[in-house]
Amino acid sequence: MDIHEILDHLPHRYPFLLIDRVVEVVPGKSIHAYKNVTINEPFFVGHFPHHPVMPGVLIMEALAQAAGILSFKTEGKKPTESDVFYFAGIDEARFKRPVMPGDQLHLHVEIERQMRGIWKFKGEARVDGQLAAEARLMCAKRDL
């Protein structure tokens, strides 16, 4: 999926859109997407000026955005102004290495289960094949 299709499947926009490309999506199973991390990211101004590191919460958000695309692709529809996915929980989050400008953050998310609007995922974020972060994510689909 290129950026135009990503924008069709996520309500997020700059500066909060954290997916640049979807490499592969298998509806009902998994997604592989990535984020090109550049020094121009607005968060690097303050995190940290002397040693820029992508905040862990934004790595989790990138995984959640990938999960959102996977959810909509699994349902065979696109988001509307009347529905949204919210974070409902993050478990077993671990950060293994810093993510810095110049890195390509590969996001791998698998559906663990889905029931009555609650989705559970297992996510990994990798840089150069090395695990940067991992977590189990829970999201809830709600009508506005």
Residue 14, Cβ density class (10 Å: 0-12 exposed, 13-18 middle, ≥19 buried): exposed
Q: What is the model's pLDDT at position 144?
A: 83
pLDDT digits (tens, 9 = 90+) for 19-54: 999 999 999 999 999 999 999 999 999 999 899 999
**Is the pLDDT reported for residue 143 higher than 90?**
no
Q: Which of 47, 50, 106, 108 is catalytic?
A: 47
**Is the pLDDT reported for residue 84 higher than 90?**
no
Q: What is the model's pLDDT at position 39?
A: 96
- Taken in order of first residue, the domains within the chain and their CATH numbers are 3-143 (3.10.129.10)
Computed over every residue of the chain, the mean pLDDT equals 95
In the structure, what pLDDT confidence band is assigned to residue 82 with cuts at 50, 70 and 90? confident
Q: What is the model's pLDDT at position 76?
A: 93
Non-local CB neighbours of 97 within 8 Å, separated by 6+ positions: 127, 130, 131, 132
47 labelled catalytic:
yes
Nearest C-alpha neighbor of 27 from the set 134, 142, 114: 114
